[in-house]
């Protein structure tokens, strides 16, 4: 009977550049999402899996600089791309646990933007992307840019406060 | 560290000691905050074990059916499938449940809702496990589903469960049931089914110990309760079932009941391998209980001056297929039915029934949310009929300490209801909507459909209250252990940290009570410490905070005796201050507990109990509650009256918090709770048709985004409750209770439509 059942198709090995480090992905099945490969094959569970249909933003990563939901991206389609996950925000090759934080990460913690924390990695990535593009966003621009990231705990108030703190901090560093 | 004997005692300080970080009243960062923001905090769905299998659950597609047979052999034939189990494989008690065990671990002969677990599989890959579910053959004989709560009350309706269709009926009679007054207002109100929609899916990792026992890492709200239920189902002694808290991605009541706990353990014990389970979102929507839908008929009687004389309420909750916490939810709805007002006469009938809809149970607000929507609509109707300002009407009837509640219980704790109302009303109103606003400032937002000229603004007000801790005689005690060693306090307590920030509060309490700068938390499990009770009912700060404080005081007491002995003093001459010092009557000794303890470890365990409460009698009377918390909300909304689109512009609130222990975390609870209240008011509803959930995804079940959230203005009313160990009241539920009612009132004011049901949909308004 087993012979009648096709074994799951396995993709050819491919490479991803994740947080500045080239990683080989072996044995992945065809159809595995970038999120699954990051979390289950590359040991990077920082990107989260709240909906796995592109609605919640908890899996937000950068692929060649673009903000994407890793759950909707086929892992094989990202072969050769530069992927940045929450684990890599604090610097290329940063080791998880070395305590390094970006200003956005520090502000999220200090302002109370983190409660259960499940949305936090996605927010951190998305806020970095927003501020890279719009260093001084208006409140409505913040709301529009982050409307794809759901948070169920905070009501977003302390997340907005964290962003204001980052924008203020960066302005002090680089007055213009 | 210097030996205490060599430490010079300090003179009494001439100035206040410099403020030390991380004490009670400060806002230290969460100890889990940095790992969470780095992505290295291990949520239960992130766990991994070498050689682990993936478990999945086969669920009923039918709301009511007889299960003729379940054939798992085709699934077992698939390569990579290690195990497939059915009801026959449950070794112990085949049922589970929080209050009564009425829900099958796996359906044996009948399924009673769409999503009921029928079989479980374990395989080498999630995709293999999914294919295995498709291969299982179940022969169902379809039965007529009971999907209307009213039908469940009919005497001729067949029982869908051996325990019957009525889970509990409360008949509350207080004062004179025949009392009459000058004016009467009435209405019928409905609340739809809300989902907790936590982001972290139900997930866990079970690892067999090779000796017949099991370790389970799981996201839950109450480890010890889970442990007891799981052990009974597995037919194992409790000590062979060890539960550890896996990182919890939000809870809001949805993790009070078991989900995958028994299933993961069954699969792991059968295969001898670690088994991970993690629900996809569509499964999560049927994998946990929801907020009860409610139908409520009210009649308020008042004098011409606006004094409430009598409240009549007939409340029907749809509990779905299994009991979960329905028994307690309906009691809350009955006890709190009249709202935070003096009501000398009350006639309340509240019933929760079984249907073939998804089971309902705990969600933030727990019965108080539904009745608040109704009693606040009634207060507005009364104000309108009497020509009294709605805020003044509420002030005129507001509960205060010493008042008698509809249960006959006398309110003994703090009750700053008037202060909450006044402070809420005093918040500034938002600027009027600009003539040429940005699209995101208009109802419908980026959809760009609103017509500014047809947007009307409305303001609504609501007040609510809720019991804190468990009620009706239940002793939900909490245990904590504190070890002080070389200036570091280690706090062990089995509180489920679900995001609320108890981990922060525990450290603050220990640092404050022991005068130390370092406090760390021990592991959260069922192995090293007793039960902390559930992270629900706004109870952990009061109960487990109280247990940590008691344990710190016991540590301090040991240190006090040791210090007195070393210094040759009578221990009675030393006292432990609230800020963690040991001070002698004559002022010659003034050391922190941590300093006085020196290098020798000191450890103490303490259990905190609240005052014993009582069951309700046959007329719903009794001292059932420990304490209450109150809040008021004022909502400002803009409504496009042609399209029925609503934008919530601002929520102002003042909340009875007792005492603020961590200002940032309190604000976070207030803002987050309001978001869930706003969601219930204008968007969140599980759409059930014929027992089938039509919108089990974040595409179709909408929760507020950052673009939906209004400005929040919050005031904390601080009147420390003398019964609370730290003076603080739980703050988690109050923001969710009256915010929904306030938004509904504002919508009524904006467009003149009698909003009698939440969530409000556009088609309700046009």
DSSP string, B333-367: HHHTTT-SB--SEEEEEEEEE--SSPPB---TTTT
Q: How far is A175 from chain B (nearest CA, A)?
A: 28
Tell me whether A114 touches chain B (CB under 8 Å): yes
Asked if residues B629 and B622 have their Cβ atoms less than 8 Å apart, the reply is no
Cα B658 from Cα B661, distance rounded (Å): 9
- Give the chain A residue whose CA is nearest to the CA of B437: A140
Tell me whether A160 touches chain B (CB under 8 Å): yes
pLDDT confidence of residue A123: 98
pLDDT band of residue A11 (cuts 50, 70, 90) is confident
pLDDT confidence of residue B609: 98
| In a domain? residue A124 | yes
Residue A34: alpha-carbon gap to chain centroid: 11
Contact at CB, A39 and B46, closer than 8 angstroms: yes
pLDDT confidence of residue B448: 84
Asked if residues B636 and B507 have their Cβ atoms less than 8 Å apart, the reply is no
pLDDT confidence of residue A98: 60
Closest CA to B737 of B645, B648, B628: B628
pLDDT confidence of residue A7: 57
Give the CA distances from residue B298 to residues A1, B466, B624, in Å, rounded to whole numbers and listed in that order: 64, 19, 23
Q: pTM surpassing 0.90?
A: yes
- Partner residue opposite B667 with nearest CB, options A31, A112, A114: A112
CATH architecture classification, B45-143+202-278: Alpha-Beta Complex (3.90)
- For chain A, what is the largest distance between any 2 Cα atoms, rounded to a whole number of angstroms? 72
pLDDT confidence of residue B325: 98
Write down the residue that tokens 């560290």 correspond to: B1
Number of C-alpha atoms within 13 angstroms, CB side, residue B444?
A: 18
Q: Tens digit of pLDDT for each residue in B374-425? A: 999 999 999 999 999 999 999 999 999 999 999 999 999 999 999 999 999 9
Q: Which of A45, A64, A88 is the last residue of a domain?
A: A88
State which residues form the domain around A76: 8-88
Contact at CB, A109 and B704, closer than 8 angstroms: no
pLDDT confidence of residue A59: 98
From chain A, pick out residues whose CB is under 8 angstroms from the CB of B200.
48, 50, 116, 118
pLDDT confidence of residue B447: 84
CB pairs under 8 A between A and B: 203
- Partner residue opposite A156 with nearest CB, options B278, B446, B709: B709
Kindly report, as residue ranges, where domains of CATH 3.30.365.10 are found in chain B.
4-13+476-608, 294-471+616-765
Asked if residues B685 and B192 have their Cβ atoms less than 8 Å apart, the reply is yes
From chain A, pick out residues whose CB is under 8 angstroms from the CB of B252.
152
Asked if residues B604 and B558 have their Cβ atoms less than 8 Å apart, the reply is yes
Contact at CB, B705 and A44, closer than 8 angstroms: no
> Do A147 and A76 belong together in one domain?
no
| In a domain? residue A108 | yes
- Give the chain B residue whose CA is nearest to the CA of A144: B707
DSSP of A109-173, one letter per residue? HHHT--SS-SSHHHHHHHHHHHHHH-SS--HHHHHHHTTTS--SSSTTHHHHHHHHHHHHHHHHH
Closest CA to A87 of A98, A72, A74, A76: A98
Asked if residues B753 and B643 have their Cβ atoms less than 8 Å apart, the reply is no
| In a domain? residue A93 | no
- B22 backbone dihedrals φ, ψ, rounded to 5°: 80, 15
Cα B244 from Cα B176, distance rounded (Å): 52
> Do A78 and A109 belong together in one domain?
no
- Contacts with B291 (C-beta within 8 Å, 6 or more apart), sequence order: B191, B193, B194, B195, B196, B253, B360, B363, B365, B369, B370, B680
- Partner residue opposite A86 with nearest CB, options B29, B39, B498: B39
CATH architecture classification, B294-471+616-765: 2-Layer Sandwich (3.30)
pLDDT confidence of residue A176: 53
Give the CA distances from residue B586 to residues A89, B445, B595, in Å, rounded to whole numbers and listed in that order: 56, 68, 19
pLDDT confidence of residue A92: 54
Provide the edge-to-edge strand list for the sheet that holds B590-592. Answer: B574-576, B581-584, B590-592
Contact at CB, B39 and A144, closer than 8 angstroms: no
pLDDT confidence of residue B445: 87
- Give the chain A residue whose CA is nearest to the CA of B664: A112
- Can you read off the two tokens belonging to residue A125? 């990535």
Cα B380 from Cα B461, distance rounded (Å): 9
What do you get for the CA distance between the two ends of chain B, in Å?
A: 74
pLDDT confidence of residue B17: 39
Which of A38, A89, A116 best tests the B interface by mutation, with the highest count of B CBs <10 A? Answer: A116
Tell me whether A146 touches chain B (CB under 8 Å): yes
- Can you read off the two tokens belonging to residue B483? 């070890």
Cα B632 from Cα B652, distance rounded (Å): 8
> Do A79 and A147 belong together in one domain?
no
> Do A22 and A78 belong together in one domain?
yes
pLDDT band of residue A91 (cuts 50, 70, 90) is confident
Contact at CB, A116 and B250, closer than 8 angstroms: yes
Give the CA distances from residue B464 to residues A48, B513, B599, in Å, rounded to whole numbers and listed in that order: 36, 34, 50
Give the CA distances from residue B320 to residues B63, B148, B160, B256, B666, in Å, rounded to whole numbers and listed in that order: 10, 10, 11, 16, 33
Q: Which long-range contacts (CB under 8 A, 24 or more apart) does B687-691 make?
A: B688/B147, B688/B193, B688/B357, B688/B358, B690/B63, B690/B145, B690/B147, B691/B62, B691/B63, B691/B64, B691/B113, B691/B114, B691/B145, B691/B147, B691/B355, B691/B356, B691/B357, B691/B358
> Do A153 and A121 belong together in one domain?
yes
Q: Tens digit of pLDDT for each residue in A121-151? A: 999 999 999 999 999 999 999 999 999 999 9
Cα B313 from Cα B374, distance rounded (Å): 9
- Give the chain B residue whose CA is nearest to the CA of A39: B46
Q: Which of A63, A88, A113 is the last residue of a domain?
A: A88
Q: Which CATH number fits domain B4-13+476-608: 3.10.100.10, 3.40.630.90, 3.30.365.10, 3.40.50.720?
A: 3.30.365.10
Domain CATH for A62: 3.10.20.30
Asked if residues B590 and B546 have their Cβ atoms less than 8 Å apart, the reply is no
pLDDT confidence of residue B6: 35
Cα B197 from Cα B174, distance rounded (Å): 38
pLDDT confidence of residue B5: 35
Q: Which of A88, A118, A148 is the last residue of a domain?
A: A88
Asked if residues A118 and A48 have their Cβ atoms less than 8 Å apart, the reply is yes
| In a domain? residue A56 | yes
pLDDT confidence of residue A94: 52
Cα B278 from Cα A52, distance rounded (Å): 12
Contact at CB, B501 and A115, closer than 8 angstroms: yes
Tell me whether A166 touches chain B (CB under 8 Å): no
Tell me whether A62 touches chain B (CB under 8 Å): no
- Partner residue opposite A5 with nearest CB, options B38, B43, B78: B78
Number of domains in chain A: 2
Other beta carbons within 10 Å of B748: 23
From chain A, pick out residues whose CB is under 8 angstroms from the CB of B675.
152, 154-156
Chain A, 25 to 44: residues with Cβ < 8 Å from chain B are 29, 31, 36, 39-40, 43-44
Cα B271 from Cα B269, distance rounded (Å): 6
Write down the residue that tokens 């918390």 correspond to: B629
Regions of chain B with pLDDT less than 70: 1-20
* Inter-helix orientation angle B417-426/B390-397, to 10°: 160
Closest CA to B653 of B734, B760, B541: B734
From chain B, pick out residues whose CB is under 8 angstroms from the CB of A116.
198-200, 248-251, 498-499
Asked if residues B532 and B493 have their Cβ atoms less than 8 Å apart, the reply is yes
Q: How far is B712 from chain A (nearest CA, A)?
A: 8
> Do A113 and A52 belong together in one domain?
no
Q: How far is A133 from chain B (nearest CA, A)?
A: 19
Contact at CB, A29 and B252, closer than 8 angstroms: no
From chain B, pick out residues whose CB is under 8 angstroms from the CB of A121.
36-37, 39
From chain A, pick out residues whose CB is under 8 angstroms from the CB of B41.
117
- Partner residue opposite B498 with nearest CB, options A116, A148, A155: A116
Q: How far is A33 from chain B (nearest CA, A)?
A: 12
Domain CATH for A108: 1.10.150.120
pLDDT confidence of residue A95: 52
Write down the residue that tokens 């259990």 correspond to: B607
Asked if residues B442 and B656 have their Cβ atoms less than 8 Å apart, the reply is no
From chain B, pick out residues whose CB is under 8 angstroms from the CB of A2.
77, 79
pLDDT confidence of residue A97: 54
């Amino acid at each position: 009977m087993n012979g009648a059942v096709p074994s799951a198709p396995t993709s050819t090995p491919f490479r991803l550049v994740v947080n500045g480090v080239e990683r080989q992905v072996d044995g992945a099945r065809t159809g595995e999402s970038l999120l699954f490969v990051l979390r289950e094959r590359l040991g990077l569970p920082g990107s989260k899996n709240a909906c796995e249909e592109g609605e919640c933003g908890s899996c937000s990563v950068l692929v060649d600089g673009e903000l994407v939901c890793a759950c909707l991206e086929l892992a094989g389609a990202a072969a050769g791309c530069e992927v940045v996950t929450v684990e890599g925000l604090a610097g290329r090759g940063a080791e998880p646990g070395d305590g390094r934080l970006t200003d956005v990460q520090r502000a999220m913690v200090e302002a109370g933007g983190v409660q259960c924390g499940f949305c936090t990695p996605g927010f951190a990535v998305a806020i970095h992307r927003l501020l890279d593009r719009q260093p001084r966003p208006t409140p409505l621009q913040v709301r529009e840019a982050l409307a794809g990231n759901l948070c169920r705990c905070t009501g977003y108030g302390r997340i907005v406060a964290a962003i204001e703190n980052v924008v203020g901090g960066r302005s002090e560093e680089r007055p213009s | 560290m210097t030996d205490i004997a060599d430490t010079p005692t300090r003179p009494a300080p001439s100035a206040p000691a410099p403020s030390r970080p991380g004490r009670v009243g400060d806002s230290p960062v969460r100890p889990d905050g940095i790992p969470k923001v780095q992505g290295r905090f291990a949520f239960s769905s992130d766990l991994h074990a070498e050689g682990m299998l993936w478990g999945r659950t086969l669920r009923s597609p039918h709301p009511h059916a007889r299960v003729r047979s379940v054939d798992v052999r085709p699934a077992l034939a698939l390569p990579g499938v290690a195990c497939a189990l059915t009801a026959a494989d449950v070794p112990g008690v085949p049922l589970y449940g929080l209050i009564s065990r009425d829900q099958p671990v796996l359906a044996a002969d009948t399924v009673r809702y769409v999503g009921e677990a029928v079989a479980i599989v374990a395989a080498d890959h999630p995709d293999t496990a999914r294919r295995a579910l498709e291969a299982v053959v179940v022969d169902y004989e379809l039965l007529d589903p009971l999907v209307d709560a009213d039908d469940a009350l009919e005497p001729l309706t067949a029982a869908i469960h051996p325990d019957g269709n009525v889970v509990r009926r409360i008949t509350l009679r207080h004062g004179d049931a025949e009392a009459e007054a000058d004016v009467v207002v009435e209405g019928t109100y409905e609340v739809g089914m809300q989902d907790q929609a936590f982001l972290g899916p139900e997930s866990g990792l079970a690892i067999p110990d090779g000796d017949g026992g099991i370790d389970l890492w799981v996201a839950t709200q109450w480890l010890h309760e889970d442990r007891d239920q799981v052990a009974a189902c597995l037919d194992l002694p409790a000590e062979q079932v060890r539960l550890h808290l896996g990182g919890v991605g939000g809870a809001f009541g949805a993790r009070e009941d078991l989900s995958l706990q028994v299933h993961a353990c069954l699969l792991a014990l059968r295969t001898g391998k670690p088994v991970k389970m993690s629900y996809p979102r569509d499964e999560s929507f049927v994998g946990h209980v929801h907020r009860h839908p409610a139908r409520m008929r009210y009649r308020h009687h008042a004098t011409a001056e606006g004094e409430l004389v009598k409240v009549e309420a007939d409340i029907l909750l749809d509990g779905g297929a299994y009991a979960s916490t329905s028994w307690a939810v309906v009691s809350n709805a009955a006890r709190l039915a009249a709202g935070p007002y003096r009501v000398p006469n009350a006639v309340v009938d509240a019933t929760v029934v079984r249907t073939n809809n998804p089971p309902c149970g705990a969600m933030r607000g727990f019965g108080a949310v539904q009745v608040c929507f109704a009693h606040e609509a009634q207060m507005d109707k009364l104000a309108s009929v009497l020509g009294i300002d709605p805020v003044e009407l509420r002030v005129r009837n507001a509960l205060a300490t010493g008042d008698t509640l509809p249960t006959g219980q006398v309110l003994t704790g703090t009750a700053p209801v008037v202060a909450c109302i006044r402070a809420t009303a005093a918040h500034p109103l938002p600027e009027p909507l600009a003539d040429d606003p940005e699209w995101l400032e208009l109802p419908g937002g980026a959809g760009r459909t609103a017509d500014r000229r047809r947007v009307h603004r409305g303001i609504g007000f609501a007040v609510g209250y809720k019991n804190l801790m468990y009620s009706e005689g239940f002793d939900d005690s909490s245990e904590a252990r504190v070890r002080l060693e070389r200036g570091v306090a280690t706090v062990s307590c089995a509180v489920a940290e679900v995001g609320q920030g108890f981990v922060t509060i525990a450290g603050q309490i220990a640092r404050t009570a022991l005068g130390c700068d370092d406090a760390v938390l021990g592991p959260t499990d069922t192995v090293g410490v007793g039960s902390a009770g559930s992270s629900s009912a706004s109870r952990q700060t009061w109960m487990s905070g109280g247990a940590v404080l008691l344990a710190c005081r016991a540590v301090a007491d040991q240190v006090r005796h040791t210090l007195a002995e070393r210094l040759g003093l009578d221990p009675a001459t030393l006292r432990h201050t609230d800020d963690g010092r040991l001070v002698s009557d004559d002022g010659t000794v003034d050391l922190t507990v941590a300093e006085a303890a020196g290098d020798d470890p000191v450890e103490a365990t303490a259990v905190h109990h609240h005052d014993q409460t009582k069951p309700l009698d046959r007329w719903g009377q009794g001292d059932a509650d420990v304490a209450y918390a109150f809040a008021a909300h004022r909502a400002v909304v803009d409504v496009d009256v042609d399209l029925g689109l609503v934008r919530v512009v601002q929520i102002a609130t003042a909340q009875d918090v007792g005492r603020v222990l961590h200002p940032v975390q309190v604000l976070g609870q207030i803002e987050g709770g309001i978001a869930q209240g706003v969601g219930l008011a204008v968007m969140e509803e599980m759409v059930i048709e014929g027992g089938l959930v039509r919108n089990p995804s974040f595409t179709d079940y909408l929760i507020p985004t950052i673009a939906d959230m209004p400005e929040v203005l919050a005031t904390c009313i601080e009147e420390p409750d003398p019964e609370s160990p730290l003076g603080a009241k739980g703050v988690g539920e109050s923001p969710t209770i009256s915010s929904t009612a306030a938004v509904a009132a504002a919508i009524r004011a904006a467009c003149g439509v009698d909003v009698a049901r939440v969530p409000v949909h556009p088609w309700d308004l046009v």
